[in-house]
Each structure stands twice: as C-alpha cells, then as structure tokens.
Amino acid sequence: MEADLHSAPAGSNGSNKEVVSRKMEKKGTYLHAVVLVALLLGWGLLGRAQEGGRETLQISRTETAVKLDGRLDDPVWKQAAAGGKFSQYFPYDTSLAFSQTEVMFCYDDHFLYCAAKMYDSLPGEYVSLSLRRDFVSGNVDAFTLVLDPFQDKTNGMAFGLNPFGVQREGLVSAGGTTEENLDLSWDNKWYSAVQVEDSFWIAELAIPFKTLRFKEGSTRWGMNCYRTDTKSNERSAWSRVPRQFPLHNLAFTGELLWDEPLGAPGANISVIPYLAANASSDFLGEKEENFGLTGGGDVKIAVTPSLNLDLTANPDFSQIEVDVQQTNIDRFELFFPERRQFFLENADLFSNFGFSNAQPFFSRRIGVAIDSTSGQNVQNQIIAGARLSGRLDENWRIGLMNMQTAEDVRLGVPAFNYSVGVVQRQVFDRSNISGIFVNKQNFDEQPVDIYDKEAGSYSRLAGLDYNLASADGKWTGKARKAMPIPQELTYCTIPEGLELP
C-alpha cells in the first residue's frame, strides 16, 4: 500500500516522483494528526459522557445519635436522601431490578452510617450457606457496600451483611476487574444490625472513619451497593454494572456527595500485645518440669489518613484462620493465600507484581524456611518487622517493608532479612506503573538456596510493571519486566511478559 501511494503516474520523470512523494507524505502526516486529534477528542467526550451519567447520592451530617437496631425509626433516616431504582445485574443487565432496594447515608464525627431496605418480590426463606464471617455472597442473600474514597477507581473497600447479621469485609485492588481482586482476608472493626420483616429486610452499618482511608477535605467518594436475592434468583446494583464485570468493579461506581468537606479522622493507633506461657512434665522419666514464657505484639499507626505504619515484634499467628485443607499429589507446591493481618492492608502494592505463576514477591514465604537436613518446609520464627504502606497523594502510593527472622542452628536454618520497596504511580484514568525492589539476605554466608550451592548469600530482584485498565473496563492488560541481581554479574536472567486478556 505504501509503494502504491508513493508511485508516480506513468510517463513522469524522477523529480516529479520526489515531489509527489513529498506531497503524499505531508498529506499522510496531516491525516495522521487529524485522526489522532479526533481520537483524543472522542475519548475525552466519551469520558465526560460517562462521568456525567454517574449515579449520585447525597450524604448529610447528623447531630443526633443513630441507634443501630435495624428498624430505621431514627429521625435522621426519615430525612435522608434515598437511592433506589436498583438495576438488574443477573440474569439480565438491561432492566430495573425485580426486587428493589433503597439505600440511605448519614454521618457524624466518628462514623459513616448506611441503611439499606431490601424488598422481597417473592415469598420464601432467606438462604445462607454458612454463618461464618467473610462469607461469599454469590449464591446467598446479602447486601454489600463498596467504597472508593479516593475516586481513583483502583483501590477500595467492601462491607457486607446477610439477613442473619453475619458480617464480611474486604479490600478491592486492581480496580476490581476480577473476582480475585476482592480479598476477604482483611478484617476490621465496624458495627451492624439487621431486622427481618414479612416482605423486606433491613441492614444498618456503622463504619468508623478510623477504619477507612480517605483524603482530608474530600467531598466526593466513589460508591456502589449491590444485593443478591435468592428467591427471585436476581443480583442487582445501585449503579449499573455490565454482566461481564464483577459487581465490585470500581469502574462503575456512582458518587457519594458529602454536604461539607471531610475533616481528618483523628489519631488512629492500635496496640495488640500477647503473652503466652507453657509447661511440660515428664511423668515417666527423670526430666525436670519445663516452663516457658514468651510475649510480643503488633502496633498499627496511622501516619496520615491514608498512610499506615505497621510494627511487629515476635508475632504470634496462632489466631489466624487456617488454610483450606488440600491434598498435593504432584511435585509442585500448593498456593495458599496470605491471611496474616500484618501483611494484608495495601497488600496489592507488594503482591500484584508479575503474574499468578511468576511473582517477584510472595509474603507467605516470610516465616518459612527449608530444613537443610530434610529438605522440608519448617517454621522460621520472625523476630521483628516494620511495614510502611499507603497513599502519598492522589497519584502516588508507596510500600516499604523490612522483616528479620531468627536462626535455627538445630535445623541448619540461617537468619534471614527480607527487604521490599515499592512505588506506584497512577497514569491516565485507572492504569498505573509500578517499580519494585526485593532483597532476601542472610548474614552467615550460607547460600539462600540449599539446593544451589553456587547461590550467594543474597537474592535480589528489581522489576517494573504496567497495569492497563481503561475507564470503561473494556480493556485490561499487564506488561512486566524483572531483572534478578546475582552476586556474580557474569550471568543474568531477565524475565518479562505481556498479558492482554
């Protein structure tokens, strides 16, 4: 095609060919410029149309206390603006919901309050497969509130209830583009009440501002609410979500409009100490009784409303929910998600690098080592650690972590130090670019990999990730490049990849 455009008419001389070629090149340049400008203008107009079409709901301050009883007889609920006309998500996403829902909001100095009244279109019993916290809401009756306080359409929080009063909460990462981007391992303290009537049920939520992460002075939050009604086999949302996307996808949130700029949530410091004692006796032998006493704890400090400092010393993870029991019948390791609270908040900063089968950093490796005598995984006691993570402003997020484990001479496990640094910059509407540096090192010159005697005493890696997510959610993708840093620079492997689903 290019040769045809630049070819001269029959009978023309060489100079005419050059003139025609230059003219066509200039026209082609102008054409490319016009097309580029048209695309940019069209993209901008599309963005404005989508922005202008967002659902909005007012939230007002209340000076009177809100009683959480699930009855909605407080004066504030009679005056609050109600958001209704939920749109159907399943089985169709082109009509209003058959079973409608009303949501209302208010707030005071300490709490964000949400009330939802879920009407029943058909008689029947409510369905719940379990009364355990952090239930999955796909096939059970439930109501879920999704918040995006920074309106970056990338990170958010979700709080949910079922008709039996069971709570669930989770963190939304990577824009909520997949079901896995809602992590229900995150736990926090908030309050709720439920009331079931003949033809509807009511959920009231009170979420402390200290639990939320937001910018001081903000007046608009991204927000959506969705509901599952098993009797009519229907799922619906306040702000319509196309069926090909998860209901917690942040690209389709509406807006919660505050009546005045929000102030700072105040100091937020939590301390969780522990003390553990043990005793043992040998009733058959002649060994003396053995007593032990140990202690430690965790500290969480909100440096700013959106930046957290986590500290831990001799942590005890015995209260963490156990992993799902699985049987491994091949030679490859099983994947178990991170459940330790110390590592969960802003976990996407550290764990979303690379792809699911090739992650530069996986926090479950911290506290686990390989027994050099048997080759089996064993516990490696964590001595102390610090973790700074969160948002600096509307565009920048950072994550810094350092953990130190203990030496186990009996098992031949050296002391390891883990250091991770992450910086993330939001680009365009929902995309971001991130850089990571990971270092694992021991201090007794033993190789970090017992199966590779040529390995050095440290393992280091630097990486760069680009995560693509268009404003309307139609385009997603990922590109990454990572470079391990060996001790001997004569050999270097550079993993890289591209993913466009």
> Are residues 252 and 283 located together in one domain of the fold?
no
Beta-strand pair 101-107/56-61 = parallel
The per-residue DSSP string of 6-60 comes to: HPPPTT--HHHHHHHHHHHHHHHHHHHHHHHHHHHHHHHHHHHHHHHT--EEEEE
The token duo for 30 is 């102008």
CATH number of the domain within which 139 lies: 2.60.40.1190
User: Is 332 part of any domain?
Assistant: no
> Are residues 289 and 228 located together in one domain of the fold?
no
User: Is 325 part of any domain?
Assistant: no
What φ, ψ does residue 247 adopt, rounded to 5°? Answer: -65, -25
For the entire predicted model, the pTM comes to 0.80
Q: Which residue has the higher pLDDT, 282 or 462?
A: 462
Asked whether residue 179 carries a pLDDT value surpassing 70, the answer given is: yes
Report the alpha-carbon distance of residue 361 to residue 102 in Å, rounded: 43
The token duo for 473 is 């959610």
pLDDT at residue number 456: 60
pLDDT tens digits, one per residue of 251-295: 999 999 999 999 887 778 889 899 988 888 877 777 777 888 889
pLDDT tens digits, one per residue of 220-260: 999 999 999 999 999 999 999 999 999 999 999 999 999 99
At 383, the pLDDT band (50, 70, 90 cuts) reads very high
pLDDT tens digits, one per residue of 85-126: 999 999 999 999 999 999 999 999 999 999 999 999 999 999
What is the b/e burial string over 187-226, where b = at least 16 CB atoms within 10 angstroms of the residue's CB?
ebeeebbbbeeeeebbbbbbbebbbbbbbeeeeebbbbbb
> Are residues 43 and 60 located together in one domain of the fold?
no
Domains in the chain, number: 3
Asked whether residue 192 carries a pLDDT value surpassing 60, the answer given is: yes
Query: To the nearest whole number, what is the mean pLDDT of the chain?
Result: 83
> Are residues 417 and 468 located together in one domain of the fold?
yes
Provide the percentage of residues in the chain whose pLDDT is more than 70.
84
Sequence-distant (6+) residues with CB within 8 A of 42 are: none
> Are residues 370 and 400 located together in one domain of the fold?
yes
pLDDT tens digits, one per residue of 36-47: 333 333 333 333
User: Is 331 part of any domain?
Assistant: no
Of the candidates 247, 264, 90, 110, the residue with the CA atom closest to the CA atom of residue 170: 247
Q: Which domain holds residue 98?
A: 54-258
Report the alpha-carbon distance of residue 378 to residue 413 in Å, rounded: 9
Of the candidates 449, 451, 432, the residue with the CA atom closest to the CA atom of residue 487: 449
Rounded mean pLDDT, 301-319: 90
Of the candidates 223, 104, 112, 91, the residue with the CA atom closest to the CA atom of residue 158: 223
> Are residues 40 and 67 located together in one domain of the fold?
no
Rounded mean pLDDT, 322-340: 85
At 414, the pLDDT band (50, 70, 90 cuts) reads confident
User: Is 324 part of any domain?
Assistant: no
> Are residues 293 and 232 located together in one domain of the fold?
no
Tell which of 50, 70, 85 closes a domain. 50
The token duo for 99 is 């079973």
Report the alpha-carbon distance of residue 5 to residue 15 in Å, rounded: 16
